[in-house]
Chain A
């Protein structure tokens, strides 16, 4: 064990299922590779900014490589191509990119993730239906392998199977120490946003089906607390980057001064959760009411449009010591009936859904473990309430999703049953073959890997 290792108790963003690991903080690709080569009897996994909701970046009793020190930022070339360290945050990258007239090709709902994490989870954003997931914009990456070798991988090169196993591979192929990414042009730090309120689920889905194609970025917040006629009402926000011409003349000089800040400091950890059905209902009512019934071409900042929750530092603490989870599924187009059943079930769930987001995905990536597929994705936050009623409820939702040909997002998962993994990810054996070729001794592992039997299935697998 290297001397600078310190045993730390880690959780994901949901603050559930803590485990302890020896955390190493390398500051270069070479140090990361050395840490991998040194190994640990209980394996190694990379960790970025800890935004995966569950246990993807934990490795109980083993080594966790905190990659945030591998944060080099190369020059942005004329074509918008940039080479960065795997531990660089999307936040830092975006600041440099916007100043130079570019933006992230894909961003999730938080800017506090690393480039390596974005690749390992193959993250998606509001532009998935147009631009696909993060991996589509990766020109090449350098992966530190289990044996300490560093390999350069490209989507079409000789090592393409390992490239695509790394994309969405939840860190189980190695540590992404560097990536070359193609940015997307953006003239300003502003967005032009259209907002619409939808009165119920049918209205919301109809508006999304009909109008999404006209926009680069789309997302809908959906109210999954209110029952009755207004069930599934929502607020649809859609837009694109604002051209310089859309910005008032006096603001044009500072139109690329992108410097987002958290408006509120960290919420203090609360012993008792603030979340109840009552507070969830009040919150959802407020969110719906504050949105305009319809407003078009509103100038919004990038941070207001993409990262509303980043306005509060460490907002995850409002759920109290028991933590919370996010359940995110995708249900293929054509199975809208199942989506409706799932939403109806959540409205009557034993635990209130605090926040829910609905979005239409476009084409899937070719990566075997990548989450998005053409269909509807629904992401719902729940407090992590213990007990049989809630676990049985979520297990039943999983089954409905799996039967419809859908799946759960591994970067969010913290509780699904391992039996459903091969049903939801039918290409898992293809992924395992590519992974095993790079790490035959299974030296890369995580709590997620152990819990679900990702790399090696559990010996006992019952049929679902």
Chain B
């Protein structure tokens, strides 16, 4: 159970290789979380990530999970809740960024990655929501992106997927009202991670740890939407309404 000062005891990560998710879990473990379950495509790699969490006092279990296979991901989520019991916080952190130019040459790949990002999120999000509703408490944190706020030439396939993820997460939060559970949608800007290695950094770029701090602050405040960094909220208020001719000329 999460206590009166917002300290969860147990955390489930979907996409256990995500640097943002792992940095968030680390902060929660430092606050007193003691039970961590990491689900992801590469259990061996996650075992390495588990070590520092164990050293910080958490009991960590790791299992295989493939967001590209909705049937399998729903099964894996059900199994995680059965094996562990309640989770106080669930981080939905999987996603594929992909290369826009390659997508334009390879529509099948674009469709596949979009299926992971959208259908995978819908399947996992609904499966988690069902479990949280049954347990009567808990927060599902969905990693969206500012890329979904307004499509850009340089990554609109990814942006389209994140727009869908964002709409889904906000709707799911509404659906969970009165259930004791809730959804928090996280909209990070550019983050320096393995996923973005080699890409030109956009303005307001940040580290995974900085996003994690924003996520934990959002959990504390009980808000529905977290922007990381927070200033992006106001920037996108403007960007969303710029004429396309102006928006087109912006860098990043």
Q: Which residues of A contact B86 (CB under 8 A)?
A: 60, 450
Whether B134 lies near A61 (C-beta < 8 A) is yes
Contact A323 B4 (CB under 8 A): yes
Chain B 26-42, CB-CB to A under 8 Å as 1, else 0, gives 00000110110000000
B179 within 8 A of A: yes
Residue of B9, B31, B179, B221 near A451 (CB, 8 A) is: B9
A173 to B178, CA, bound (A): 29
Separation in Å of the B216 CB from the closest CB of chain A? 9
A447 and B1 contact, Cβ closer than 8 Å, known pairs A21-B136, A60-B135: yes
Could you tell me how many residues of chain A have their Cβ less than 8 Å away from some Cβ of chain B?
A: 38
- Tell whether A437 is near chain B: CB-to-CB under 8 Å: no
Pairwise interchain contact A7-B179, C-beta atoms closer than 8 A: yes
| C-alpha spacing A55/B180, complex, angstroms | 13
Task: Kindly supply a per-residue 1/0 record for chain B positions 61-103, scoring 1 wherever the CB is within 8 Å of any chain A CB and 0 otherwise.
Answer: 0000000000000000000000000100000000000000000
Contacts of A20 in B (CB 8 A): 136-137, 178-181
Q: Are A17 and B57 in contact (CB under 8 A)?
A: no
Tell me whether A384 and B135 are in contact (CB under 8 A): no
In the complex, the answer to whether B136 meets A61 with C-beta atoms within 8 Å is yes
Question: Are B1 and A451 in contact (CB-based, < 8 A)?
Answer: yes
Main secondary structure of the interface of A (DSSP, over half): loop
Given A42-B135, A61-B135, A460-B59, A391:B178 Cβ within 8 A? no
In the complex, A234 has a CB within 8 A of chain B: no
Within 422-464 of A, Cβ neighbours of B (below 8 Å) are at 447, 450-451, 458-460, 462
Given contacts A20-B180, A450-B1, contact A415 B7 (CB under 8 A): yes
CB of A388 within 8 A of chain B? yes
Q: Give B173-189 interface residues, CB cut-off 8 Å to A.
A: 178-181
Report the bound CA distance from A388 to B29 in whole Å. 12
| B residues less than 8 Å from A386 (CB atoms) | 5-6, 220-221
B206 is an interface residue with CB less than 8 A from chain A: no
What are the interface flags for A99-114 relative to B under an 8 Å C-beta threshold, 1 for contact and 0 otherwise? 0000000000000000
Residue B205 interfacial (CB < 8 Å): no
A62 in the interface (beta carbon within 8 A)? yes
Task: Give the distance in Å from the alpha carbon of A66 to the alpha carbon of B150 in the complex.
Answer: 49
Q: A9 to B138: give the CA distance in the assembly, Å.
A: 12
Write the chain B residue with the least CB distance to A12: B4
Q: Does B106 contact A (CB under 8 A)?
A: no
Instruction: List which A384-414 residues lie within 8 A (CB) of chain B.
Output: 384-388, 390-391, 394, 414
Flag whether A157 is at the interface (Cβ < 8 A). no
The interface residues of chain B lying within 8 Å CB-to-CB of A226 are none
Q: Is B155 interfacial (CB-CB < 8 Å)?
A: no
B2 sits at the interface (CB 8 A): yes
B178 touching A417, Cβ below 8 Å: no
- Bound-state CA distance A7–B135 (Å) is 12
A458 to B135, CA, bound (A): 18
Chain A residues near B180 (CB, 8 Å)? 9, 18-21, 60-61
* Extra contacts besides A42-B136, A386-B5, A451-B1 (19): CB < 8 Å: A17-B2, A18-B137, A19-B1, A19-B180, A20-B136, A20-B180, A60-B1, A60-B136, A61-B136, A325-B4, A385-B5, A387-B220, A388-B31, A391-B31, A391-B32, A414-B5, A447-B1, A460-B34, A462-B34
Nearest 4 A-B pairs (CB), nearest first? A20-B180, A61-B136, A414-B4, A16-B4
Q: Which A residues are closer than 8 A to B by beta carbons?
A: 7, 9, 14, 16-21, 42, 54-55, 59-62, 321-323, 325, 384-388, 390-391, 394, 414-415, 417, 447, 450-451, 458-460, 462
7 CB-based A-B contacts, threshold 8 Å = A19-B137, A21-B136, A60-B135, A390-B5, A391-B31, A415-B3, A460-B59
